[in-house]
Amino acid sequence: MKRLLVLLAVAALAIPLVAQQQQPAPAVPAKNVALINGEALTAEKFANLWNNLGFNVRDQYEKAGGKPAFLDNYVSKRLIIQEAVKSGFDKRPDVRTDMEAGSDSALFDRYVRDVVAAPIVNESDIKKYYDEHQSEFAVPEKVKVRHIVVTATNAGPAAKTKEQALERIKTIAADLLSHTIELKSAAPDAAARLQLIYFSDAARKYSEDASAPSGGDLGWHAKGELDPVLEEAAWNMHVGTTSGVVETPFGYHLIFVEDRKPAGTQAYEEVRSTIREFLLSQKAMEIMTAVKRLTNELRTNSKVTLFPENIK
């Protein structure tokens, strides 16, 4: 799979589409993922944006918190874009030129990839590659982990000794344990959901790292991707359980195992677009020949007048 992704990175025809294009208004009320100063991001549009990510980019997001991390980044970008529009920056002639060029480029690239290249890389070609390269799409077993970390530090408003940090994490652990005891009589599904809610809320309140706003979400990880101490604890826990206090060089942690995925093979639908972009890169010369042929045909049947003397 790594070979495939490296080739994709250099393929001239694998330029990702701009993710900020406006979608037509839905015919029925849509569920919103976010409202950004009144601007709605629907669940459907969010799903399209997520599915349009390249495999490598999506994998990076999975390691950094998954869809919530992608949503957070999207919101940040939209806020900047809204500020640019509010200030009239988008009306500047040089900016308008860049925006129009970007739109033209996206349309050209999409037409070449989806129309001109369609006979060259068809569905059977994509499926054939998938069937013959199953090992490239193998995925290891993964675990989804949340944590709460409290760190000893000598500076800042949160300064504390190691002893104080340990006492704080123990207090948090005791509070979570009390909730666990309260849930013993609850139905398993309800108890699991509430455990996740309690842990996420505690992480937002008490955790002292960048994962706190997302409820301590560290995302999905295969073996070898986490700190060794955290990994040993996480891989020996059942889903829906919280660890005891774990110490790493980063501080004192509580770990919550949210879910597990068994080892397997990525579904065809998940990797189809990635395979297609790879095959397009392999057929780049053939596609460019088709583009040139189409251009010549269009020039023959079009009226084009050039004025080179006016070029400055």
Are residues 50 and 62 part of one domain? yes
* Residues 51 and 130 grouped into a single domain: yes
CATH number at residue 148: 3.10.50.40
Assess whether 10 and 131 both reside in one domain: yes
Rounded to whole angstroms, how far apart are CA atoms 229 and 140?
A: 20
Average pLDDT over residues 95-101: 89
pTM exceeding the 0.75 threshold for the entire prediction: no
Q: Does some domain include residue 236?
A: yes
| Domain co-membership, 150 together with 242 | yes
Tokens matching residue 16: 């990702």
Residues 9 and 127 in one domain: yes
Q: Using an 8 Å Cβ cutoff, are 284 and 11 in contact? A: yes
Q: Considering the domain boundaries, does residue 311 fall inside one?
A: no
pLDDT score, position 21: 44
Phi, psi angle pair for 160, to nearest 5°: -165, 155
Domain count, the chain: 2
Whether 272 and 127 share a structural domain: yes
Q: What is the pLDDT of residues 104-150, one digit of tens each?
A: 888 998 899 899 999 999 999 999 999 999 999 999 999 999 999 99
Indicate if 183 and 130 belong to the same structural domain.
no
Structure tokens at 241: 């359980």
Percent of all residues in the chain with a pLDDT value above 90, rounded to a whole number: 56
User: Quick one: which of 278, 266, 236 has its CA closest to 62?
Assistant: 266
Domain that holds residue 70: 2-138+266-303
Residues 59, 109 within the same domain = yes
Q: Mark whether 86 and 21 lie in a shared domain.
A: yes
Spell 95-120 as b/e; 16+ CB within 10 A means b. eeeeeeeeeeeeeebeebbeebbeee
As a whole number, mean pLDDT of residues 175-199 equals 86
* Residues 208 and 270 placed together within one structural domain of the fold: no
* Identity at 10, one-letter amino acid code: V
Of 230, 247, 262, which one is at a domain's C-terminal end?
262
Given a contact cutoff of 8 angstroms between Cβ atoms, the answer to whether 271 and 131 are in contact is no
Report whether 4 contacts 281 (CB < 8 A).
no
pLDDT of residue 4: 44
Residue 100, pLDDT > 80, answer yes
H or E segment and range at residue 138:
strand 138-139
Is residue 26 included in any domain, yes or no?
yes
- 310 within domain boundaries: no
pLDDT in tens, 272-311: 988 998 999 999 999 999 999 999 999 899 998 888 888 7
Alpha carbon separation from 195 to 109, 234, 239, 243, 282 (Å, rounded): 47, 16, 11, 13, 49
Average pLDDT in the 23-49 region?
A: 79
pLDDT of residue 24: 53
Q: Do 95 and 222 sit in the same domain of this protein?
A: no
Is 149 among the domain residues? Answer: yes
Q: Which two tokens stand for residue 278?
A: 């790879």
Residues 258 and 297 in one domain: no
